[in-house]
Amino acid sequence: MDLYERIPNNVNLSGDKRLQRALEKWLPNYLDWWREMGPDGFQEKDVYLRTAISVEADGWANFDYVKMPDYRWGIFLKPAEQDAKVGFGDHCGMPAYQEVPGEFRNSLRRIIVTQGDTEPASVEQQRELGKTCPSLYDLRNLFQVNVEEGRHLWAMVYLLHRYFGRDGRDEAEELLQRRSGNPDKPRILEAFNQPCDDWLNFFCFTTFTDRDGKYQLAALAESGFEPLARTCQFMLTEEAHHLFVGETGVGRVVKRTAQLMKQDKDSDVRELGGIPLDIIQKYINFWFSYSLDLFGGEISSNSADFFAAGLKGRYKEQDQYTDHVAAHENFTLMVVEDGRLKPRDVPMRNALNEVLRGEYVKDCERAAERWNKFIVEEGVNAQVYLPSTRFHRHVGEFAGHTFDAQGNLISSEEFERRRDEWLPTFADREYVRSLMHAVTEPGKIANWIAPPKAGIKGKPFDFEYVRL
Ligand code: BYC
Ligand code: FE
Ligand code: FE
């Protein structure tokens, strides 16, 4: 691992001078983007961050104070396996692709660009949050997530530069030019154009939207295009912390709310400065539904093509399945036909977006069960839940139809009439924002959230995670 080169890497960058020069030209543009669109403020502060120093399982040992612009962004791929094979699809069993097969070039580039686009988008969405952090611990976690999403951008940019020539370089430039929420040059996927301007949004985003990242990366980690697979395998090790931040973050908000409900059974949690459970529920509904859209349509010829080509597999394709061709199976899913919900059989390969979404939903349900445990532990009789996967969808079979949170088909008039029951209103967002004031004294925490069970890397909660 060349950690102390200008661009730390384990791909022997110095052995490919042209590529090295091209990436060294991209580097200052990246840093300009980071300064303009990365965390607002705090750039000169020391943050207690982990940096990858090797791609082995114990490569995360390195925790230290770093100023964010000095973070060792770099290019780290899981080491190659000998004789890697394409693991699924029409070319299953053939040698894995070490270069881009001409006939799949456009599909692959598009997958990589789409993946790459989400990473800087999330940093842009989160850039104002530092100013209202509930604790130094949370501030540090936000910045850890941000620098790693920056590194994920590097991961995709490396692939574009190394394997796609001229148009790869152009795409890498454009990744720095699109802006989350900008109507003239928006990010590619809609969840990444939604504002994420308070900490409840942040925790829901890292629970639900980063979890889409986990499942998409897992599907790409199976790819027959080996450099992509190996890149994603390493990215997944970073992703686990993002999901931890999200899931424990929502859990701590839920826990605090339950404590306040117990403390005073007769009053509104608002009077005690907490976030009412029904607002938390609406935020869950919002981010869960937008994140479901990220899996694409239920019935998708793209998903069939990606699988056939060996580019994008299923979740745990090798561990979980025996038939890696999946050419003759069918899958039954629900569609709307003549104004009613009906089951339809489709070829398995065309249903793979829905299959991946199903894995994701199971994982989200597990998170919701955890949150409900916190409520039970406080002795409060209430719960949060995940809405139906049909609710509030903008992509796929259910887009253009309206459903209640239980998944019953309803008229668009009824949906509009009841929208405020299910989705955050302007007043809800204003209320949540009114609670957001920075708490930056070590060991202190905002009133609307419970402290974490433990600190980072064995440090106590009152450790000075960011030196202000
Ligand atoms: N928004 O066949 P369909 C992460 C388009 S998150 C807008 O149904 P497909 C992260 C689609 O492009 C992980 N457009 O879908 C998280 C297509 O257009 P064409 C990101 C959409 O292609 C937090 C048409 O609709 N990674 O890492 O099978 C923080 C029909 O598409 C959307 C990836 O997404 C949408 N939501 O699947 C930081 C992996 N959905 O062909 C980071 C790479 C679909 O008609 N991407 N469309 O022009 C993919 O594998 C696929 O592009 C998708 C869509 C799964 C996104
Ligand atoms: Fe990421
Ligand atoms: Fe992430």
Task: Please report the domains of the chain, with CATH numbers, ordered by start residue.
Answer: 13-467 (1.10.620.20)
Q: How would you write the pLDDT of the chain (468 residues) with one tens digit per residue?
A: 677 788 999 999 999 999 999 999 999 999 999 999 999 999 999 999 998 877 776 666 689 999 999 998 989 999 999 999 999 999 999 999 999 999 999 999 999 999 999 999 999 999 999 999 999 999 999 999 999 999 999 999 999 999 999 999 999 999 999 999 999 999 999 999 999 999 999 999 999 999 999 999 999 999 999 999 999 999 999 999 999 999 999 999 999 999 999 998 888 999 999 999 999 999 999 999 999 999 999 999 999 999 999 999 999 999 999 999 999 999 999 999 999 999 999 999 999 999 999 999 999 999 999 999 999 999 999 999 999 999 999 999 999 999 999 999 999 999 999 999 999 999 999 999 999 999 999 999 999 999 999 999 999 999 999 999
340-347 and 402-403 beta bridge pairing: unpaired
To test ligand 1's pocket by mutation, which of 294, 298, 307, 360 has the most ligand atoms within 8 angstroms of CB? 294
Relative to the alpha carbon of 194, which ligand is closest? 1
Cα–Cα distance, 362 to 2 (Å, whole number)? 39
Taking the centre of ligand 2 as the mean of its atom positions, its distance from the CA of residue 210, in whole angstroms, is 7
Question: For every residue of the chain, which 3-state class applies, written as one string?
Answer: CECCCCCCECCCHHHCHHHHHHHHHHHHHHHHHHHHHCCCCCCCCEEEEEECCCCCCCCCCEEEEEEHHHCCCCECCCCCCCCCECCCHHHCCCECECCCCHHHHHHHHHHHHHHHHHHHHHHHHCCCHHHHCCCHHHHHHHHHHHHHHHHHHHHHHHHHHHHCHHHHHHHHHHHCCCCCCCCCCCCCCHHHHCCCCCHHHHHHHHHHHHHHHHHHHHHHCCCCEHHHHHHHHHHHHHHHHHHHHHHHHHHHHHHHHHHHHHHCCCCCHHHHCCCCHHHHHHHHHHHHHHHHHCCCCCCCHHHHHHHHCCCCCCCCHHHHCCCCCCCCCEEEEEEEECCEEEEEEEEHHHHHHHHHHHHHHHHHHHHHHHHHHHHHHCCCCCCCCCCCCCCCCCCCCCCCCEECCCCCEECHHHHHHHHHHHCCCHHHHHHHHHHCCCCCCCCCCCCCCCCCCCCCCCCCCCCCCEEC
pLDDT of residue 264: 85
Residue nearest to atom 34 of ligand 1 (CA): 115
Taking the centre of ligand 3 as the mean of its atom positions, its distance from the CA of residue 406, in whole angstroms, is 29
Give me the sign of the Cα torsion angle 270, 272, 278, 282.
Answer: positive
pLDDT of residue 60: 67
Other beta carbons within 10 angstroms of residue 94's beta carbon come to 12
Residue nearest to atom 32 of ligand 1 (CA): 296
Q: Please say whether the beta carbons of 176 and 185 come within 8 A.
A: no
Taking the centre of ligand 1 as the mean of its atom positions, its distance from the CA of residue 300, in whole angstroms, is 11
Taking the centre of ligand 1 as the mean of its atom positions, its distance from the CA of residue 353, in whole angstroms, is 10
Q: Which residues are near ligand 1 (CB < 6 Å)?
A: 111, 114-115, 118-119, 122, 149, 189-190, 209-210, 212-213, 216, 293-297, 300, 302-303, 312, 353, 395
Residue nearest to atom 45 of ligand 1 (CA): 302
Put simply, whether the predicted model's pTM sits higher than 0.85 gets the answer: yes
Cα–Cα distance, 212 to 214 (Å, whole number)? 5
At residue 224, φ and ψ (nearest 5 deg) are -75, -15
Cα–Cα distance, 337 to 60 (Å, whole number)? 51
Atom of ligand 1 nearest to the CA of 220: 39
DSSP bridge partners of 95:
85
pLDDT of residue 6: 87
pLDDT of residue 267: 80
Taking the centre of ligand 2 as the mean of its atom positions, its distance from the CA of residue 105, in whole angstroms, is 23
Q: What six digits make up the tokens of 117?
A: 């686009």
Measured in residues, the chain has a length of 468
